[in-house]
Amino acid sequence: MLWAVVALTWMQIEGKSSVVKLTDETFPDAAEKGHIFVKFFSPSCHHCVKLAPVYEELGVFFEKYKDNMTIAEVDCSRQGKTCDFQSIEGYPTLRYYPGGGAEWEEFQGERSVEGLKDFLLPKIGIVRRPKFSFVKTLTPGNFEAVVMNRTENVLVAFTAPWCAHCKKLKPQLEIVGLSFKPGDNVTIASIDASAYRDFVEPYGIPGFPTIKFFPAVREHAVGTPTAEKAKKEADASASTTTTTNTSEGEKKEKEEKQEEEEEEEDDDDYYTAITKEGMRIITYRGEKEAVPLLQFVNEQSGTWRAVGGGVGSSAGVVSEMAEPLVVLSHALTKTPLPMTEEEIEKMEEEEEEKEKELEREKEREKEREREMEKEKEEMEEASKGEEKKDPIVPRKKNLKKKYGEEEREEKGGKRKGKKLGMKKAPPSVGEAVRQAEAAVDAHVKSRYVAGQYKRYIERAAKEGLGYVEAEKARLETMLTSGSFSDRQKGELVVRRNILALFLVMPLSSDS
């Protein structure tokens, strides 16, 4: 590369060039002879000026193949006859003429030295070994198999070969692709959307590059986006129905508010009309650099990859898994669980309601006593002068039966009950395991990480937290003293961090 730049600089100083300049007189013979690559340009064309150093470097490279391939150019501002005869409609136009009266072939690829080499070298029988890419190239033929694979998280860049921002994005995508391993179930891909405009139209491609994320299908995810959307539409329909009898002003205000909410949602999320088996396809709107792209894919796919393929220190930690694993740990050690603020608040509300009910019961008791006393006085008054043996007692018993007080125990005094505490009994081990596994299905996106969570949940349930402590210590030792590949080290970090979530509560039975 350095020698090419030096040669190019020298030729510019000396006024020489490796690019042959053709005229109206010389072009016909050169095209008939063949194996010539021609740039049709205009000096006033901005894109032509930008291409000039690239084309000059291409000429320098093909100096060693000059007997087999000629790099040439035609200035259409001076050689108008040739450009008119060749029907040149835009600048620059690049064509390969094989000669012998054969049809010319127009170059449509990336206008870089490498892109031009890849196009021309096979014409003279030189096959270049393809450069390995970590970005999968998509076409309509393989799009469905790759992108709609239900087990893969796929990031797709919709690009165009002439797009300058797409060219800048290409090496950034390679870095992102390099950072993921096969077990991550993540594919980084790109498609020439300008070549397949009709095919990509349903995915909503407003410009280039557009980047979209197609998530893996999660069978146990809590709710599906399509169901949520249907519910929203049903609610909106019900809301419209209820406004039939309202004033026109209120109806208009509600409709405007609904439209604003829908516009805000579209602006924030920007999902496509198409889904991947109910999973929303998300448009990436961040910076088109490797690091933010990698962070986005990690977030959406449940991975923790760092640039280059390692993992971050928090690999494997899913915040939603902390609580169910704490519950399982308490179930295994049969230690009381700390109560949450919500649970304490609920208990306080129940306690207050019980106190109020007790007060109401006391008032009802007093009222019953007053009524009984009143009836007793009336009976005593009525029984004066009658010669009966204790006429009051049977009627008093009847009154007690009437008011449901027969053999009733006194309920006065303070309510007996447990003092409001800050801990509660843990669930059974079986129930705690079911809760933890359900949380894995709902919240852990990576299949590998989900498998590790379930593996350790089962082992902990069978062997107790002693196994968890011993296994975590073993992995710590391996990480500090062993020699592992990046992939192996990443897996060890994930496993160690998962085990650490089991051990956030005291193991003592006195806790």
Report the amino acid identity of residue 328: L
Paired sense of beta strands 20-21 and 70-75, if any: parallel
What would the two tokens of residue 443 be? 């919240």
Residue keyed to tokens 């003092």: 419
Beta strands in 15-122 (DSSP E): 20-21, 36-41, 70-75, 93-97, 105-106
Q: Catalytic residue positions?
A: 45, 48, 163, 166
The distance of Cα 74 from the centroid of its chain, to the nearest Å, equals 51
Paired sense of beta strands 136-138 and 279-283, if any: unpaired
Q: Closest Cα partner for 498 from 442, 445, 455?
A: 455
Please provide the distance, in angstroms rounded to a whole number, between the alpha carbons at the two ends of the chain. 70
Angle at 142 between CA 137 and CA 143, to 5 degrees: 80
The tens digit of pLDDT for each residue in 451-473 reads 999 999 999 999 999 999 999 99
Handedness of CA 113, 114, 115, 120 (dihedral sign): positive
Q: Count CB atoms within 10 A of the CB of residue 132.
A: 6
Q: Closest Cα partner for 98 from 64, 70, 73, 58?
A: 70
Paired sense of beta strands 70-75 and 186-192, if any: unpaired
Q: What Cα–Cα distance (Å) separates residue 175 from each residue in 169, 306, 337, 352?
A: 10, 10, 46, 61
Angle at 120 between CA 117 and CA 124, to 5 degrees: 125
In this structure, of 50-54, 163-167, 447-451, the range with the lowest mean pLDDT score is: 447-451
72 touches 30 (CB < 8 A): yes
pLDDT reading at 257 higher than 90:
no
Mean per-residue pLDDT over the chain, rounded:
80
Mean of pLDDT values over 234-259: 49
- The per-residue pLDDT for 82 is 94
pTM of the complete model? 0.52
The distance of Cα 290 from the centroid of its chain, to the nearest Å, equals 16
Higher-confidence position of 245 and 45 = 45
In this structure, of 61-70, 273-282, 466-475, the range with the lowest mean pLDDT score is: 273-282
Using DSSP's 3-state secondary structure scheme, residue 156 falls into strand
158 touches 193 (CB < 8 A): yes
What would the two tokens of residue 80 be? 């108008």
How far is Cα 262 from Cα 254, in angstroms, rounded to an integer? Answer: 12
Split at pLDDT 50, 70, 90, the class of 258 is: low
What single string gives the DSSP state of each residue in 258-303?
Answer: HHHHHHHHHHHH-EEEEEETTEEEEE--S-SSHHHHHHHHHHHHT-
Split at pLDDT 50, 70, 90, the class of 230 is: very low
332 touches 429 (CB < 8 A): yes
The tens digit of pLDDT for each residue in 84-120 reads 999 999 999 999 999 988 899 999 888 889 889 989 9
Mean of pLDDT values over 334-354: 74
